[in-house]
């Protein structure tokens, strides 16, 4: 998948812009606070349906204006497509090839993998960061996963409400709690099996990428740390059922559900050591990069072509050989990379200079 163009109107610090991209490496270069990340945020909004910085639409709207609009054109193996997203007069509108679409119809149409400096938290941050990575990656190849996860989260919320009541000493209908436990076990099974299947295909790709980035100096091993290690839906559901029902007293005292996919973690072993504890800054960056490149590889295996790689400030802290590997990874893949460093220009097919929300392109 190749992003051909991006245009923005009254988005963040951008008045109006239209940018064109080439296959291979595209570099957005400029000093701090000029509007590099804003472009990636606008592009990625089409892949995720929302801002990766968590910005609400009012926040995304350029100061002093009352709405914004964005558009992309891109092509996969078969055709050229266009998506637009606008927020005007308090209402949002999405269009695919000129026809209005709902969020669910937009997700999965344009596929992108994002590296954002906050993603370094995937290695050493709370398990929540690793779960979020996994959720986004799984949804990238199977958009229906988001619906399954939302369903699980809703059932969890209902069960937690009852457990909270119990923890306060208020009366709780035990049969109702058992019924929610059963629904939760089934929903947990759906989430677990998709995560497991994803990791089975993804892990070898991540190991390969880590080995390539580190010039075969480092090995990476990923494991899903869950409350079950079974493979069949029946056996997995049995494990969750047993967890939920045999610890009811403890959960009533805690006031929340202590088991299930919302507590899963991903174990990360780097050359035999727990990276969550021991990885250096550069190693953290390399691991996250390996995960993101592997996400792209696996996405291609499942969908037929590469997603677009959006890499925000990925180059700092990487040594020369790791940088060379990353930028050389262009080839069939399209990379859109931001940097403050002039020295990066040599590796790019297309350079876009960014200054105060203005963009000047220089094809090479």
Residue closer to Mg ion, measured from CB, 191 or 288:
288
Torsion of CA 175, 180, 185, 189, to 10 degrees: 160
Which does residue 319 bind out of ligand ATP, Mg ion, none, counting CB within 5 to 8 angstroms by kind? none
Q: Which stretch binds ligand ATP (CB under 6 A): 26-34, 199-207, 232-240, 265-273?
A: 26-34
Q: Give the number of other Cβ atoms within 10 Å of residue 272's Cβ.
A: 9
Which of ligand ATP, Mg ion, none binds 241 (CB below 5-8 Å, type-dependent)? none
Number of shown-chain residues binding Mg ion (CB under 5 A) = 2
| Ramachandran sector of residue 142 (left: φ over 0; alpha: ψ -120 to 50; beta: rest) | beta
Considering the rule CB under 6 A, would residue 94 count as an interface residue with ligand ATP?
Answer: no
For Cα atoms 268, 207, 216, give the angle at the middle one, nearest 5 degrees.
110
Alpha carbons 278 and 327: distance in angstroms, whole number: 27
Residue 66 or residue 215: which is nearer to ligand ATP going by CB?
66
Q: Indicate which single residue of 3, 6, 7, 12 sits in contact with ligand ATP (rule: CB under 6 A).
A: 12
Q: Does 13 bind ligand ATP (CB under 6 A)?
A: yes
Candidates 33, 153, 161, 253: give the one binding ligand ATP (CB under 6 A): 33
- Nearest distance from residue 348's CB to ligand ATP, in Å? 17
Selected binder of ligand ATP within 24, 35, 42, 67 (CB under 6 A)? 35
Q: For residues 100 and 180, what is the distance between their CA atoms, to the nearest angstrom?
A: 38
Largest CA distance in the chain: 72
62 binds ligand ATP (CB under 6 A): yes
Binding part of the chain for ligand ATP, among 58-66, 181-189, 209-217, 293-301 by CB under 6 A, reads 58-66
> Of residues 328-347, which lie at the interface with ligand ATP (CB under 6 A)?
338, 340
Q: Report if residue 63 touches ligand ATP, rule: CB under 6 A.
A: yes
Residues numbered 35 to 74 that lie near Mg ion (CB under 5 A) are 36-37
Nearest CB to ligand ATP, comparing residues 60 and 289: 60
Rounded to a whole number of angstroms, the minimum distance from the CB of residue 9 to ligand ATP is 12
Which of Mg ion, ligand ATP, none does 343 bind, CB closer than 5 to 8 A by kind? none
Binding residues for Mg ion (CB under 5 A): 36-37
Binding residues for ligand ATP (CB under 6 A): 12-13, 30, 32-38, 59, 61-63, 313, 338, 340
């Amino acid at each position: 998948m190749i992003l051909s163009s991006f245009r923005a109107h009254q988005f963040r610090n951008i008045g109006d812009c239209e940018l064109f991209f080439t296959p291979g490496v595209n570099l957005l270069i400029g000093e701090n606070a000029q509007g590099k990340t804003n472009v990636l945020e606008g592009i990625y909004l089409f892949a995720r349906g929302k801002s990766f910085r968590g910005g609400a639409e009012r926040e995304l709207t350029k100061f002093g204006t009352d709405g914004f609009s964005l558009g992309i054109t891109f092509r996969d193996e078969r055709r050229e497509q266009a998506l637009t997203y606008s927020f005007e007069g308090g209402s949002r509108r999405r269009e695919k090839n000129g026809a209005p679409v709902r969020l669910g119809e937009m997700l999965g149409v344009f596929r992108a993998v994002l590296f954002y400096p906050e993603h370094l938290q995937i290695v050493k941050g709370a398990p929540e960061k690793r779960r979020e990575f996994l959720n986004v990656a799984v949804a990238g190849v199977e958009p229906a996963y988001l619906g399954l996860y939302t369903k699980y989260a809703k059932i969890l919320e209902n069960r937690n409400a009852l457990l909270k009541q119990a923890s306060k000493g208020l009366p709780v209908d035990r049969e109702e709690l058992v019924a929610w436990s059963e629904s939760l076990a089934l929903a947990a099974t759906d989430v677990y099996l998709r995560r497991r299947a994803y990791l089975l295909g993804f892990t070898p790709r991540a190991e390969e990428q880590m080995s390539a980035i580190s010039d075969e100096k480092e090995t990476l091993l990923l494991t899903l740390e869950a409350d079950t290690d079974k493979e069949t839906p029946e056996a997995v559901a049995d494990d969750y059922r047993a967890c939920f029902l045999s610890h009811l007293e403890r959960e009533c005292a805690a006031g929340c559900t202590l088991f299930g996919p919302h507590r899963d973690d991903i174990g990360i072993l780097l050359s035999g050591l727990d990276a969550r504890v021991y990885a250096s800054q550069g190693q953290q960056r390399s691991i996250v990069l390996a995960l993101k490149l592997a996400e792209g590889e696996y996405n291609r295996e499942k969908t037929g072509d590469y997603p677009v790689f959006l890499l925000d400030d990925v180059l700092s802290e990487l040594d020369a050989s790791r940088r060379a590997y990353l930028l050389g990874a262009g080839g069939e893949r399209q990379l859109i990379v931001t940097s403050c460093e002039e020295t990066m220009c040599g590796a790019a097919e297309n350079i876009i200079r960014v200054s105060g929300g203005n963009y000047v392109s220089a094809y090479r």
